[in-house]
Copies of this chain bind each other. A is one copy, B any other.
Amino acid sequence: MDICKRLGENVRRYRKEKGWSQEAFAHEADIHRTYISDIERGARNPTITIIEKLARPLGVTASQLLE
């Protein structure tokens, strides 16, 4: 499985566990809403600093987002 898609699925799963919309999560992570959408669809190839920005509000590690 492609790693970008795997990341996207993990982000989406953790975000839904928090009960957040993409918009609400985008605000928490301080990342643009459409960028979150792209990430969840595996349409982006983000850097590890982005992974960390995503991980923090979700309460998980950067490592977990790539599992």
Contacts and interface: CB of A to CB of B under 8 A. Distances in A.
Interface in A14-67: 45-49, 51-52, 61-64, 66-67
Contact of A66 (B4, B45, B46, B62): B62
Interface residues of A, number: 16
B45 A45 contact: no
Interface string A1-20: 00110010000000000000
16 contacts: A3-B48, A3-B62, A45-B47, A45-B48, A45-B49, A46-B47, A46-B48, A47-B48, A48-B48, A48-B51, A48-B66, A61-B66, A62-B66, A63-B63, A63-B64, A63-B67
